[in-house]
Amino acid sequence: MRLELHRVKVRDIQWGEATEVRQGTLYVNREEALKAVEDSRLPLMELDIARPGESVRIIPVKDCIEPRVKLTEGKGYFPGFCAPVQPVGSGATLVLDGAAVVTCGPIVGFQEGFIDMSGPGGEYTPFSRTFNLVLTASPVEGLDRHQHEEALRTAGLKLAVWLAQSCSEAKADEITLFEKGTASEEGQKHPGLPAILYVCMCITQGLLHDTYVYGTDLKPSLPTLLHPNEVLDGAVVSGNCVSSCDKNTSYHHVNNPVVRALYARHGKDLNFLGVIPAVESTVMDGKLRSAAMNVRLGRELGADGVVISEEGYGNPDTDLCLNARFFEQAGIKTVVISDEAAGTDGASQSLADATPEMNAFISTGNVNEMIEVPPMDKVIGDPAAISLLSGGAAESLRPDGSMHVELQSVIGSTVEIGYSRVGCEWI
């Protein structure tokens, strides 16, 4: 499977008569962009621009999406949402590298977050360094929360695809190639290399805690194996209203650094088998079933080692422990990646569960660390929403617009796939 990412570098974003990229600037026709995402469930929509270094706060943020579109094998992107349900991971994809669509608006679930484009808050989120087109949408009165979430999620995806489609004639500044055969083919090519599997745990708990694979809620699914190219080409989409610090946004999935790091070493010092998007259940039997079947897949594939990243914290810590225990007991060496909820002083137990088999742990930070963020000249959204966010409270917002909050209220601050500015690798 061969995937080409045609990266068009975006170094600024401005309003314009036509939506296009010229000399590194993404120009957006505001009226046409709004028309592209019209939805009767969201009668009030606004678009704003937020650039790195500006005194801007975006709150509350639902999702961040990288603008992309297929250049071959049909148009559109995100199968099951903005493209037909068919395999992805091959052909050419246009990427507006450096740009992001950010969805914002009245709170859907209590676990959303904020982005500061500058200041100390901006130091903790990767989205302070992207050129953001912010879609703020308000629902019709009485709209069901699940319908609200679905409408806002779909609008963000449509806007991201529309942006990339409008710029599809732009010349790529860089083409990144990802090419790998099936697990059996690669095993024959690299018989002497350790076979490594990646288990990407995904929030799949209902109650607005969902992840989608090929347009379908992963929650009722049994574990399956994805080719790494499928992950890097839009097969996985976030539908989560979880603590913003460690939720994998749709932007994170297509830029998953664990996938990219294993891919970079494939054929050199390891054989990268593929990715299991693993269910995190709300019940113990579901957790046991998922962990057991993840290991079964690993054994069938002949895995020598596995990297496991968590999503969320609290009861998903049990899923993490079970995966680590079962893989280690099967003789498959295991490394886990997770953040910690160690209290504001860092002295509490970091996870809600523990197991002795979890003996190689990479931390992406303490979600409970307290930070002070100054007032911003412009706020997109509703600053009072901090009272409803995980890591925030009514007293978090001060009269001058500054806030005293836990790190977990900053979107992407401790994301457990490592695409953040906290941890052992800076991006």
Residues 6+ away with beta carbon under 8 Å from 400: 375
Q: Which two tokens stand for residue 314?
A: 């609290």
CA distances for 192 relative to 85, 183, 187, 298, angstroms: 37, 14, 9, 18
Cα 207 to Cα 46, 80, 203, 381: the distances in Å are 27, 21, 11, 23
Sign of the C-alpha dihedral, residues 226, 224, 239, 146?
positive
Angle of CA points 383, 385, 389, to nearest 5°? 125
Positive or negative: CA dihedral 178, 201, 60, 413: negative
Cα atoms in the Cβ-side hemisphere of radius 13 Å centred on 184? 1
Query: For the chain, how big is the Rg over CA atoms in Å?
Result: 21
The Cα–Cα gap between 345 and 104 comes to 31
- Rounded Cα distance, 157 and 180, in Å: 28
Residues belonging to the active site? 241
Dihedral of alpha carbons 77, 78, 79, 83, sign: negative
